[in-house]
């Protein structure tokens, strides 16, 4: 199985900060990488697919990059509604696997 | 608009069975693969199972293989997950999630998720 490792597991940031989350795959997955946002008590929301493509309706302050084994999710200017947990997921092969999550908290 | 509504969760004893359902609307259900994903309390996301749009291919996580069965009824726009021999570690919120690609073989990325249904395995 492909292991997905996210870092950091949590971070504190202020409104307006630029935030970057890293996801590493245990083997190459080309660009078959998705990012999700989850708020407490809510279902995950799909943000990005194919490493860098935004899902419909997702604001452009979210961006993704990377290919192969190393990927990043960047939030350009953190807003109150962005405080949540973020997950990466590979869909290169079954079983699909998720990173452990990064909790973005208010500083 | 796309809607996925899970149901069937509840409290069950270890070794027991439960059947979850996911009712779909707002899209051509028979043209998209659908997944089950779960989340144990306070933990991360775990992919559980997938069925192709026509039900011809199914995949399972090792943790549920042989105990869980995914199925779909395209005439009723419904996805099911039959869960047998339940264990405490199966306690989680179970989500259904839709593939984003039409009549594909996959795997593909998700675009929509349901709101989830809670399964608690406890004596």
Q: Are strands B117-121 and B10-12 parallel, antiparallel or unpaired?
A: parallel
Tokens of B92: 């989680």
pLDDT beyond 90 at A87: yes
Whether the predicted pLDDT of A107 surpasses 90: no
What pLDDT is recorded for position B106? Answer: 79
Subunit contact A95:B62, Cβ cutoff 8 A: yes
B33–chain A Cβ distance below 8 A for any pair = no
Residue of chain B nearest A43, judged by CA positions: B115
> Residue A64 pLDDT > 90, yes or no?
yes
Element (H, E) at A10: strand A10-13
Pairing mode of beta strands A10-13, A102-106: parallel
The strands making up B3-7's β-sheet, listed across from edge to edge, are B3-7, B18-25, B78-83, B68-73
pLDDT at B1: 95
Contact assessment for residue A100 and residue A5, using Cβ atoms and an 8 Å cutoff: yes
- Would you state the torsion angle of the CA atoms of residues B61, B116, B77, B35, taken in this order, to the nearest 10 degrees? -20
Q: In this predicted model, what pLDDT tens digit does every residue of B66-106 receive, in sequence order?
A: 999 999 999 999 999 999 999 999 999 999 999 999 987 77
Q: List pLDDT tens digits, range A13-57.
A: 999 999 999 999 999 999 999 999 999 999 999 999 999 999 999
Is B114 an interface residue toward A (CB < 8 Å)? Answer: yes
Query: Residue B28: pLDDT above 90?
Result: yes
B110 touches chain A (CB under 8 A): yes
What pLDDT does B27 receive? 97
């Amino acid at each position: 199985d492909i292991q997905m490792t996210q870092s950091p597991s949590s971070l504190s940031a202020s409104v307006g900060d630029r935030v970057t989350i890293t996801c590493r795959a245990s083997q190459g997955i080309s660009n078959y990488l998705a990012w999700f946002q989850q708020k407490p008590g809510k279902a995950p929301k799909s943000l990005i697919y194919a490493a860098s493509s935004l899902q419909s309706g997702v604001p452009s302050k979210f961006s993704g990059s990377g290919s192969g084994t190393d990927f990043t999710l960047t939030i350009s200017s953190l807003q109150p509604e962005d405080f949540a947990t973020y997950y990466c997921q590979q869909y290169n092969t079954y079983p699909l696997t998720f990173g452990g999550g990064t909790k973005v908290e208010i500083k | 608009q796309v809607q996925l509504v899970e149901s069937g969760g509840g409290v069950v004893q270890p070794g027991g069975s439960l059947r979850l359902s996911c009712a779909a609307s707002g899209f051509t259900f028979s043209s998209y693969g659908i997944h089950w994903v779960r989340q144990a309390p306070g933990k991360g996301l775990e992919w559980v199972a997938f069925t192709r749009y026509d039900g011809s291919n199914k995949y399972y996580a090792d943790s549920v293989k042989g105990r869980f069965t995914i199925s779909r009824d395209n005439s009723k726009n419904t996805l099911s997950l039959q869960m047998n021999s339940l264990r405490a570690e199966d306690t989680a919120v179970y989500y259904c999630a839709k593939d984003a690609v039409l009549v594909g073989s996959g795997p593909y990325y998700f675009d929509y998720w349901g709101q989830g249904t809670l399964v608690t395995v406890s004596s």
